[in-house]
Amino acid sequence: MTPSRPATKHALPEAPEICRLPAVELVDAVRRRRLSAREVVQAFLDRIETANPLVNAIVSLRDRAAILREADDADGRAAKGDAGALCGLPVAVKDLALTRGLRTTFGSPAFADFVPDEDEFFVERMKKAGAIVIGKSNVPEFGLGSNTYNPVFGSTLNAFDPAWTAGGSSGGAAVALALHMVPLADGRDFGGPPRHPPRSSNGYRPGRDWRCSTRRWAWRDPWAATCATWPSCSTCRPAATRAHRCRTMPKAPSSPGSNAPPPAAASPGWAISAAICPWRTASCRCARPR
């Protein structure tokens, strides 16, 4: 039985059907040419234009024309049979992760104008898999807090009731998912970020043991160095608003950089999760609801 979701108190029309499709179905539709990546991206950008002014979940939104050019490139790859696991999916990266050429503020005035010249490890992986970064999701300053507000962009409101908190530190990501502004969102995890915000907006936390804060690259991120000592807390999984069509898959090799193929019984979302992080795990919760 499909659980019901609360109705939002924000003055929002219902999201279009494209925006309510699970991520795995969107990718499949783009690959099979039932939908174009341009149609998908256009629908989500229109939804952001309608919903985001009410909740302030997406920040540093890129120029629409540049985003649509990337969508056209994704359509070209799909036409050649070269569609990656995230082909044509628009994503908003949490504003704690480096994004090459796109402002990354960490929610702090000290970095209000900082534009990195490199991508965070998982952002690079998502792009190689065909994801289209459309902007960033809002965070508390430096990700420190269970409520999403900062001096640079202000507060993110709860997806369903403006009197409630959006949680933190992945409040922007959770609200963007809940209101169908993006099909996938990331969350850096030091215990609560991808758990509290999704729960505040009627969602699910990611599973354990999806770790990419490894000592191998911890020098790039002081939080990663800390998380590397607490591997069960460190995760870089996508969040979801409902565990839709997700199933347990057999154990797979759990080693960084492994190129082992997915197990035969893996869910369709396995490829999406694997595209983001090199660790192979035993669960997948990354499909979106209708």
Instruction: Give the pLDDT of residue 164.
Output: 87
**Contact 239/194 with Cβ under 8 angstroms?**
yes
Q: Which CATH number is 203's domain given? A: 3.90.1300.10
Q: Which helix (H) or strand (E) holds 134?
A: strand 132-137
Tell me: the pLDDT tens digits for 149-172? 999 999 999 999 998 888 888 899
As to burial, measured by CB atoms within 10 angstroms (0-12 exposed, 13-18 middle, 19+ buried), residue 136 is buried
Structure tokens at 277: 């992080």
Residue 196 is assigned to a structural domain of this protein: yes
Instruction: Give the pLDDT of residue 116.
Output: 97
| Whole-number Cα distances in Å, 33 to 131, 167, 240 | 17, 38, 25
Residue 10 is assigned to a structural domain of this protein: no
Tell me: the pLDDT tens digits for 121-136? 999 999 999 999 999 9
Q: Give the contacts of 84 (CB within 8 A, at least 6 positions apart).
A: 77, 128, 129, 130, 275
Tell me: the pLDDT tens digits for 13-56? 999 999 999 999 999 999 999 999 999 999 999 999 999 999 99
Residue 163 is assigned to a structural domain of this protein: yes
Residue 287 is assigned to a structural domain of this protein: no
Beta strands in 3-68 (DSSP E): 58-59
Instruction: Give the pLDDT of residue 58.
Output: 98
Residue 11 is assigned to a structural domain of this protein: no
Q: Which helix (H) or strand (E) holds 48?
A: helix 37-55
Name the domain count of the chain: 1
Residue 165 is assigned to a structural domain of this protein: yes
Per the structure, the complete domain to which residue 254 belongs is given by 17-276
Question: Can you tell me the distance from the alpha carbon of 77 to that of 148, in angstroms, rounded to the nearest whole number?
Answer: 37
Residue 104 is assigned to a structural domain of this protein: yes
Residue 169 is assigned to a structural domain of this protein: yes
